[in-house]
Every structure is written in C-alpha cells, then in structure tokens.
C-alpha cells in the first residue's frame, strides 16, 4: 500500500472532497475502502495543527472530514496470526499506556469472516494488561474517557498503530476513536 502515517475518514459520500481538501496539506490517496483516505505527512503534530486551522477557514474540509487518526507504525499481518503480529508491533507502545487508564480499539477494514474485531481487541488488551503488570504497573481499563487508547486501524492486511492520548483528542477534536 505504500507509506502512510495518517488515516482519515470522510462523511458519507464525501471522500473525493476530503481528498481535495487534504491534498492541500499533504500527500493523500484513497485507502481502498469507502470513505477512507490515507496520507503521509512530514510532521504529524504540525499537520494536525494545520487541519485544526483549516477547519476554521476552509469551506470544503468541514463538509467532508468525519475523523482522523495519526499513525505511528504500520505492519503487515495475516488473519490466522493477527493477534501475535499486532501484539509484537504494539510492544514499543506499551510503556506509554502505563500509569493511566487505557483500552485497545481495532477498526478493521477487510478480512471479513477471517478476523473477529472484538476477539482481537480482547486478546490485545489482555496482552497489554499482562505486559503492564509484568513491568510493575497496575493497569486500568476505561472505555469512557481513557488516558490513552492503543489504536489499530487496518486496511486489508496492513495495520496502522498508534497511542492516542486524551490530551491529543482534546487538542484536536477531529481525532476520534470509535
């Protein structure tokens, strides 16, 4: 699929408008699924600030953007070994989930019938829980307003992974986790 560090979804039927608006700010292309675009930007933090500013003045972007997720790493996986692959890819992020509440969210696109989203989320959440306990932390899960969310956004057999903090969600309300 190529390199990507931002995933955005459009409001229903507004993907092309979203592409037009976001291409002014970075390299974006269709994500292969309805209402999904992916992009590569040089500095994600600066890009998110530009999006926040553009939402105030751009007449097109607010009519098209549903949500956006910054991506910190990508990994290819196969359905039968998805949990193991995603757990290994998430290992560098576990320490950032320590000391606060968290949950794991998987937004799956593709692999219908081969990957059961709640099962993968639960298995990854258990993995993170055990890893935090092994490091001497007391994990806490909070689905309502967690300190951080381990986010996995899949597009077919490729997953984008990130930790989205409460501070990031507050600073950029268009960064939304389902």
Segment 139-171, tens digit of pLDDT: 999 999 999 999 999 999 999 999 999 999 999
Tell me, yes or no, whether 89 lies in a domain.
Answer: yes
Tell me, yes or no, whether 82 lies in a domain.
Answer: yes
51-71 confidence digits (pLDDT tens): 999 999 999 999 999 999 999
**Do residues 14 and 66 both lie within one domain?**
yes
pLDDT band at 74 (very low <50, low <70, confident <90, very high): very high
**Do residues 122 and 38 both lie within one domain?**
no
Count how many domains the chain has: 2
**Do residues 66 and 77 both lie within one domain?**
no
Is the pLDDT at 2 greater than 70? The verdict is: no
Tell me, yes or no, whether 178 lies in a domain.
Answer: no
- Rounded CA-CA distance 113/78 in Å is 13
pLDDT band at 79 (very low <50, low <70, confident <90, very high): confident
97 neighbors 151 (Cβ within 8 angstroms): no
Mark which of 55, 70, 85 sits at the end of a domain. Answer: 70
- Count H helices and E strands in the chain, helices first: 5, 9
- Rounded CA-CA distance 152/169 in Å is 16
DSSP string for residues in 29-75? EE-SSTTEEEEE-S-HHHHHHHHHHHHHH-SSGGGTEEEEEE-SEEE
User: What percent of the chain is modeled with pLDDT above 70?
Assistant: 99
User: What percent of the chain is modeled with pLDDT above 90?
Assistant: 92
- Rounded CA-CA distance 35/119 in Å is 25
60 neighbors 17 (Cβ within 8 angstroms): yes
114-131 confidence digits (pLDDT tens): 888 999 999 999 999 999
For residue 157, the tally of other CB atoms under 10 A from its CB is 17
Residue bearing the bigger pLDDT, 111 or 8: 8
Mean per-residue pLDDT for 66-77?
A: 97
Tell me, yes or no, whether 81 lies in a domain.
Answer: yes
* CATH number of the domain to which 83 belongs: 3.30.2130.30
Q: What is the reported pLDDT for 113?
A: 80
Q: What is the reported pLDDT for 115?
A: 83
**Do residues 58 and 78 both lie within one domain?**
no
139 SS3 class? coil
**Do residues 162 and 80 both lie within one domain?**
yes
Tell me, yes or no, whether 151 lies in a domain.
Answer: yes
Tokens of 149: 């969310």
CA 91 to chain centre: 16
Structural domain boundaries enclosing 164: 73-169
User: For the whole model, what pTM was predicted?
Assistant: 0.94
Q: What average pLDDT does the structure give for the chain?
A: 95
**Do residues 83 and 131 both lie within one domain?**
yes
């Amino acid at each position: 699929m190529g390199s990507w560090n931002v995933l955005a979804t459009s409001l229903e039927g507004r993907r092309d408008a979203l592409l037009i608006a976001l291409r002014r700010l970075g390299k974006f292309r269709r994500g292969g699924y309805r209402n999904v675009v992916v992009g590569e930007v040089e500095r994600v933090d600066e890009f998110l600030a530009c999006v926040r500013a553009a939402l105030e003045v751009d007449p097109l972007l607010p009519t098209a953007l549903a949500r956006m997720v910054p991506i910190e790493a990508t990994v290819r996986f196969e359905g039968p070994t998805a949990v193991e692959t995603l757990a290994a890819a998430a290992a560098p992020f576990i320490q950032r989930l320590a000391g606060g509440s968290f949950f794991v969210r998987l937004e799956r696109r593709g692999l219908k019938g081969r990957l059961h989203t709640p099962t993968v989320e639960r298995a990854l959440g258990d993995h993170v829980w055990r890893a935090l306990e092994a490091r001497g932390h007391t994990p806490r899960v909070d689905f309502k307003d967690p300190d951080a969310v381990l986010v996995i956004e899949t597009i077919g057999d490729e997953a984008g992974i990130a930790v989205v903090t409460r501070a990031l969600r507050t600073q950029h309300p268009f960064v939304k986790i389902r």
